[in-house]
Structure 1
């Protein structure tokens, strides 16, 4: 099988060439690499000219999954499904913190979400996330929510938007999301997230499979009043600033088998069935998210994709 390596930024080609992956991909799966997409069996996800592919070629990308990856689009499809009654008694308020879409480039007007935000007496700590970035780029903790309200009024009145400190407005679209200030903590008292995966086996018909992943702990103990983003945000972009990060990484990342042990050790009243109930709730959250965006997915025989999902535990138990 031949794979066309089009999107070099993902460093996919170099990973496959490394010893740890080489045998699996080149020997077990019989995959080799070429630079000509027209002769490949599988084409990488950033290849734009789909119409040039022949009927036997597969694309490692399902068009429409961006509605789950882009924060603004994700908030929109979730809200739409919620407003239409949810699905089988389930809705996003059971797993997704309150979120609002913000656009500081549309001067002189307020969007529907911005008006909704101003109409509510929101308090507490929030996170501002650029909609189209990943890996933690541009994320800021907002402790003074009044500054966001002031910035929206500045925008509405065609004034210079300077109320929110440390926010780079070059990212035109943001998601403002309620911060989980009481996260689930294990004995190390460190905040963690769960990186799992959804494997879209097919888009026609749509078949999505849950793939277990691993736990990623922060390098430092959780303190709600800490100003250090390393305490609050688990993305590697922040955690790599910790001294000897790479040496400590092995102990701060571990599989779900060890997580189950740590969870039951921290909470002796829990049983093994409670752990599996937690996993079922995660699966339900993923299924609802996919359900909210499935009408955006383009059906094309043979296309498939793996999508990474980060989950922070808070009310699962």
Structure 2
């Protein structure tokens, strides 16, 4: 599912260092220098680059390769155009990895290309409280009538017909059946725009509950029901909750896929990913993080974490088992097409800087009919090896990514990888 502030692991990060253009002449020309900032399993990145010949760590400057959790304060213009200098973030990635920008770009592209945006991602609204926090009714003037239109009492009757604007038909609010509720379990999600790993995500059923949440966020509110930490936010995405998800043994899950994008806009998808499961049985009557948020950063605090499967994670082959082979046969191709589509939305505005690249974490959910929904796109996806499955997948994913974006530049060696090339934009 672009963030100056969005990272899957954004707690401990250091800024990129400016690159002095004279630095190459001062050091051993037969050695390649790297710097890896701490956080998000940085030891794995170091171990992966050290497997390669003639690489040496540099504490002072980015010379050949820099890996960091974010690119705050980094100036891409300092990258040399005559020497090979690589960073692990793409300029403008926030156009996809910030929740509000993702929705904006999807809507604009869909409207121009005659495709219904709410067939790709859940019905969403962006709100900004920076100058309007004292007048929530005005802030919510776009959302409130849609909320009223689709609430259960109206679903049982004739739905409210909002004024239809033909020029906006492809972004006109509409609700897929998987999001509707005919009982009294009407659920929407409030997501702070600046955070990942489930931080700050809240659920509400009424407009009054939403207003209370928004006021709390302007003052500082708890990250999770089990955390003493507090976060503040003034920018949010309101998104409709999938009320009829496909369940695995009665529990909710989402799918994490890795996507690699090079500075040439070559787009790859790693041929293995994983499903992240909740620790509690699905229950719409309870607004519990352990039921509804599948992020490992949340689930690891549950008393049932790891009870059903190690790390609450399962492989593609297990997803195939649960779906009678339909995940690989029909779901995955649809997911790949949405990934390509997401990059088409920003291809004309995206900056290409040698030799930057990025690994993104795409999150999808399946509804009861196995239709995939794009939830969000993450920069700096979690690399923690929190299960035997991830101990197998993540090191291979990183190593094979380096075979694409690093090795050919320095050793001229190109090897086969488990990254599947989707296309070049």
TM-score, length-scaled by structure 2:
0.60
The CA distance in 2 between the partners of 1:274 and 1:237, in whole Å, is: 25
How far off is 1:295 after superposition?
2.9
The CA distance in 2 between the partners of 1:26 and 1:139, in whole Å, is: 38
Q: Does 1:279 align with 2:332?
A: yes
Contact 1:197 1:213 in 2 (8 A): yes
How far off is 1:36 after superposition?
2.7
Aligned residues: 288
Structure 2 unmatched ranges of 5 or more: 1-31, 152-185, 223-230, 372-425
The CA distance in 1 between the partners of 2:308 and 2:52, in whole Å, is: 32
**Alignment counterpart, residue 194 of structure 1, candidates 255, 260, 269:** 255
**Alignment counterpart, residue 100 of structure 1, candidates 125, 150, 154:** 125
2:282 matched to which residue of 1?
Answer: 222
2:236 matched to which residue of 1?
Answer: 174
How far off is 1:192 after superposition?
0.6
How far off is 1:25 after superposition?
3.5
The CA distance in 2 between the partners of 1:304 and 1:29, in whole Å, is: 21
Q: Does 1:140 align with 2:165?
A: no
Q: Deviations over 1:218-257 (max 9, x none)?
A: 1111111123211011112321122263576526312111
Contact 1:129 1:138 in 2 (8 A): yes
Structure 1 residues 197, 35: CA separation in 2 closer, same or farther (over 3 Å shift)?
same
Structure 1 residues 29, 171: CA separation in 2 closer, same or farther (over 3 Å shift)?
farther
1:268 matched to which residue of 2?
Answer: none
2:172 matched to which residue of 1?
Answer: none
| Two-structure CA RMSD over aligned residues (Å) | 3.1
The CA distance in 1 between the partners of 2:328 and 2:138, in whole Å, is: 39
The CA distance in 2 between the partners of 1:28 and 1:112, in whole Å, is: 57
TM-score, length-scaled by structure 1:
0.79
The CA distance in 2 between the partners of 1:29 and 1:309, in whole Å, is: 32
1:72 matched to which residue of 2?
Answer: 100
The CA distance in 1 between the partners of 2:116 and 2:208, in whole Å, is: 28
The 3-state SS of whatever aligns with 1:309 is strand
Q: Does 1:213 align with 2:273?
A: yes
The CA distance in 2 between the partners of 1:29 and 1:185, in whole Å, is: 46
Q: Does 1:3 align with 2:3?
A: no
Contact 1:184 1:191 in 2 (8 A): yes
